[in-house]
Structure 1
Amino acid sequence: MQVTWTEIEQDLSAEAYPILRVMFKGEGGECVIVDMADVDALAGDEEAAIERAKAVLVRTATFDTAVNDYDAQSNGNFDQVTKTQVTDRDGGIYVFEYRDGDGSRRVPPSMMPSLEAAREEALRCAVELLADFDLNTGPIPDWLIRIYDGHGNLLAVVDVHQADAARQTADRKADSGDGS
């Protein structure tokens, strides 16, 4: 879907749990809506709300949803996903692998403008993944997200320490009121 318009609204109809809604609208009437709790943390910061909604969409793509019996019985590497193009002058195809407990999950290939853009996206998602790990109990995972090219070559790894440093930097910026 080519996103042509993004809208953000607050839904106060649920009295106990207000919702921040981000709507990604595309050509041809397509629309993806992401409803998020914790409205106060995102209130007034449209860019943060959009980035969090994007991260939710990326993480949602890793859920165990089977389209058919073959998908339900497979190992998650759906061979019907084909790549028609590995790179072009505007960027490349990147595959993200996310830590999922003791295992991992790969999401379908994504077109990104550059490896640096892919790293920034991986780091942003890794910060979100930190919330799923209790770093005080058990061993610290050696990686959270791996980035591969369209041929399966490992290009970059985001680990817990990188994600934690990025989270701390974002927290400092938020505390100082510097949103940049």
Structure 2
Amino acid sequence: MQVLRTECSVVVKPNDDAMHLVRFVGQGGESVDVTLAAGSEAIDDAEMVQKAAAIMVQVAVSLASNAGQEHEPRDVDEPLSRLQRFRFAYSGKGKDFHEIPNVELPSVEAAQAEAIRSARDLYRDVINAGQTPSGWAVRVYDENGNQLFEVSFEDVNATDQHREWPSEP
């Protein structure tokens, strides 16, 4: 889904607990809602969107890497010791324009696969928007801030030059 806009709001549940709601709105009326616990500190819309986007990336990677497997229920406060933390930085024309911190994945290989998948999706979105993604890239860092690798949009284009992209609905 290509995101056309985001909507942020605070929702108060019947028990007076406040929740942050981020709605990603796409073409054709499609939308994805992410609800975040409000906590005791106020956060602005940009931070809400960043946190919600990070959650969606983690969900997508988790589902893709566990496709066809049974899922055991677990305590959400229980750490997943086998996961590593990565930071994804998206840049274009020499500037970082979006960052997703604390992406938990099982390995460096899984982080690289996610960076390639993400770069392919963004490349298609940029081309469909009539822009040229020259100089755009996805950089991935480990939890200590060391850059592990970079996936440039030029590399994605070269790799996929014979691939036909599915048309948008």
| TM interval, short-chain normalised | 0.3 to 0.5
Question: Higher strand proportion, which one?
Answer: 2
So what's the TM-score if we normalise by structure 2? 0.46
So what's the TM-score if we normalise by structure 1? 0.44
